Chain A
Amino acid sequence: EPEVTQTPSHQVTQMGQEVILRCVPISNHLYFYWYRQILGQKVEFLVSFYNNEISEKSEIFDDQFSVERPDGSNFTLKIRSTKLEDSAMYFCASRASSGSYEQYFGPGTRLTVT
Chain B
Amino acid sequence: EDKVVQSPLSLVVHEGDTVTLNCSYEVTNFRSLLWYKQEKKAPTFLFMLTSSGIEKKSGRLSSILDKKELFSILNITATQTGDSAVYLCAVEALDDMRFGAGTRLTVKP
Contact = CB atoms under 8 A, between A and B. Distances in A.
A102 B94 CA distance: 14
Given A42-B101, A58-B96, A101 B32 contact: yes
Contacts of B98: 45
Contacts, number: 53
Given A56-B94, A101-B34, A102-B34, A44 B42 contact: no
B58 to A, nearest CB: 13
A43 B94 contact: no
Interface residue SS majority, chain B? strand
Contacts of A58: 96
A94 interface: no
A105 B96 contact: no
A101 B31 contact: yes
Interface string A29-52: 001010100000111110010100
B18 interface: no
Contacts of A101: 31-32, 34, 48, 50, 92
A104 B45 contact: yes
B83 to A, nearest CB: 19
A103 B45 contact: yes
Interface string B30-43: 01101010100111
A50 B24 CA distance: 29
Interface of B: 31-32, 34, 36, 38, 41-45, 48, 50, 88, 90, 92, 94-102
Given A41-B101, A91-B43, 10 more contacts: A35-B97, A42-B100, A42-B101, A42-B102, A43-B43, A56-B96, A101-B32, A103-B97, A105-B42, A105-B44
